[in-house]
Chain A
Amino acid sequence: MNKELILEHYLSQLDRELQALPTGQRAEIITEIRSHILDKSAADANQTMQNILNGMGSPKEVAARYLEQKGVKPWTPSPARNWLKWIAISFAAMVAFVIVSTIATIWYFSPLISVDEKAGRVTLLGGVIDVNEKTGEVKVGGIHVKEDIDLQISSKDNDYTFRMNNGGANRSEGERDLSGQNVRLIKIPFNTAKIAVVVGLDGKFKWDCKNMGSNPPPLTINAGVMTFDLNKVSMAKCELSVPEAVKVELKGVNGSLSLDEPRSDLDIHVTNGKIGIRPDRSKVYDFEVKVLNGMHDNFDRSSDKQALKVKVDVVNGVVKKE
């Protein structure tokens, strides 16, 4: 071991023996002793470092003299300190156990959430919870729930969220004949809903909705405008049939809309949602699709005056051609 290492080892031992003193005082003492030893070493090159240190006395002896002069008792670990030490070790072990268990759980169940939009299926914790939108089945562990399940999938910046709801109760079903009522526009405002729109050929507006509560259908007709107001119905799930050649306006937030072979002009405004449109191949459409924060499929534009005008304006979402 070279001189410097021997000296540093001695000084670190001395520092430990002086632990009863404040850090500043210890540093001052260590610096002075180092200075003295270096002085002695420089004064007599033949002296080995070990001899010089032997002349000083052991770190314990030197520290004891300092502490005696200052009237301080030497530092020894007390039983209380031992208890604290074991409490700290136990706590650290518990934290380590929780971290390791969490990592193991995540690894075992990974991926935590899996969304298969095409299959209409969401699985959590590696399949512990399995929601199948198409069959309406929910599995939680080994338990099957066969009630009617409403599943909503909305997207924002490709980050999916979902919500389950028992929509089996509070069903509302009905129709209103619009023939001869000169209705030129059907307005459907909504707030968090899943709406499927098809075209009927019998001139009637029909609805089959879940989650409508015991209230009467929110349908009004005024000055050629029929309004089917789903704004105050939370999480409605509706299948609607609209007469052909009547313009439909769907406007709301948080929606999953599907429009099957529309045969009239459409005006759709959605914030946070997913819209699927399946065009009628026998019709000519002029699509005007705008999506802010999201994506949309390519829809045809047309300058044909007979073309059906379909205007879609979405903030945070997806517009798909089905």
Chain B
Amino acid sequence: MQLTLDNWKVQVKKGYLEFCLLLMIRTHDRMYGLEILERLATFELPLKEGTLYPLLNRLTDDGLLKASWETENLKGHPRKFYSLTPRGVESLTEMEGEFNRMVDIVFNLQKPKGST
């Protein structure tokens, strides 16, 4: 049973994590990898860096994110900052609509029989 639940979580999380990632970047305008990981952890959305970076890479390839190398101070090493592209903003808005609709469906399905 536990194994089946884990599989289900993995399936659900796939799109969910990507959605949450884009939402967070939109909120902060621009973020780098470690910062994203730390913020996700506070929301109890732990993600391994070995998973995050390939995902960021793919979202950049898809044109939803753009990346730029910046050095915050002279002593620091360069960091790769991510922000949403106009296409990313547009896609995220559509995702929000779709997700809200799905939540509504789930919410309605969860209602006891005869409560509508």
| A, B in one complex | yes
A233 CB to closest chain B CB (Å) equals: 83
**Residue pair A38, B33 in contact (C-beta under 8 Å):** no
A306 in the interface (beta carbon within 8 A): no
For chain B, residues 43 to 64, give those with C-beta under 8 angstroms from any C-beta of chain A: 48-51, 53-55, 57-58, 61
Determine the main DSSP class of A at the interface with B.
Answer: helix
Residue in B closest to A25 when the chains form the complex, CB atoms: B57
**Residue pair B79, A56 in contact (C-beta under 8 Å):** no
A304 in the interface (beta carbon within 8 A): no
For chain A, residues 43 to 67, give those with C-beta under 8 angstroms from any C-beta of chain B: 43, 55-57, 61-62, 65-66
CA distance A43 to B76 in the complex (A): 12
A70 in the interface (beta carbon within 8 A): yes
**Residue pair A62, B50 in contact (C-beta under 8 Å):** yes
CA distance A33 to B53 in the complex (A): 8
CA distance A126 to B48 in the complex (A): 75
* Interface size of A as a range: 20 to 34
**Residue pair B33, A61 in contact (C-beta under 8 Å):** no
A184 in the interface (beta carbon within 8 A): no
Chain A residues with CB below 8 A from B79, complex form? 35, 39
**Residue pair B33, A32 in contact (C-beta under 8 Å):** yes
A68 CB to closest chain B CB (Å) equals: 7
CA distance A44 to B58 in the complex (A): 29
CA distance A305 to B80 in the complex (A): 101
A36 CB to closest chain B CB (Å) equals: 5
A69 in the interface (beta carbon within 8 A): yes
B78 in the interface (beta carbon within 8 A): yes
A26 CB to closest chain B CB (Å) equals: 11
Which single member of A39, A43, A56 contacts B50 (CB below 8 Å)? A56
For chain A, residues 159 to 196, give those with C-beta under 8 angstroms from any C-beta of chain B: none
Chain A residues with CB below 8 A from B48, complex form? 55-57
For chain A, residues 135 to 167, give those with C-beta under 8 angstroms from any C-beta of chain B: none
**Residue pair A36, B49 in contact (C-beta under 8 Å):** yes
Chain A residues with CB below 8 A from B69, complex form? 31
**Residue pair A69, B54 in contact (C-beta under 8 Å):** yes
**Residue pair B33, A66 in contact (C-beta under 8 Å):** no
Determine the main DSSP class of B at the interface with A.
Answer: helix
A254 CB to closest chain B CB (Å) equals: 73
* Interface size of B as a range: 10 to 19
**Residue pair B34, A36 in contact (C-beta under 8 Å):** yes
CA distance A62 to B33 in the complex (A): 15
For chain B, residues 25 to 54, give those with C-beta under 8 angstroms from any C-beta of chain A: 32-34, 48-51, 53-54
Chain A residues with CB below 8 A from B78, complex form? 31, 35
B77 in the interface (beta carbon within 8 A): yes
Given contacts A35-B80, A36-B33, A40-B34, contact A70 B61 (CB under 8 A): yes
Chain A residues with CB below 8 A from B58, complex form? 69-70
Which single member of A32, A40, A55 contacts B53 (CB below 8 Å)? A32
**Residue pair B50, A35 in contact (C-beta under 8 Å):** no
CA distance A304 to B49 in the complex (A): 108
**Residue pair A68, B50 in contact (C-beta under 8 Å):** no
B interface residues (Cβ-Cβ under 8 A, vs A): 32-34, 48-51, 53-55, 57-58, 61, 69, 77-80
* A32-B33, A32-B80, A35-B77 known, 16 other contacts, Cβ within 8 Å: A33-B53, A35-B33, A36-B53, A38-B77, A39-B34, A39-B77, A40-B34, A55-B48, A55-B49, A56-B50, A61-B50, A65-B54, A69-B55, A70-B57, A70-B58, A70-B61
20 contacts between A and B (CB under 8 A): A29-B57, A31-B69, A32-B53, A35-B33, A36-B33, A38-B77, A39-B32, A39-B34, A39-B79, A40-B34, A55-B48, A56-B48, A56-B50, A57-B50, A62-B53, A65-B51, A69-B54, A69-B55, A69-B58, A70-B58
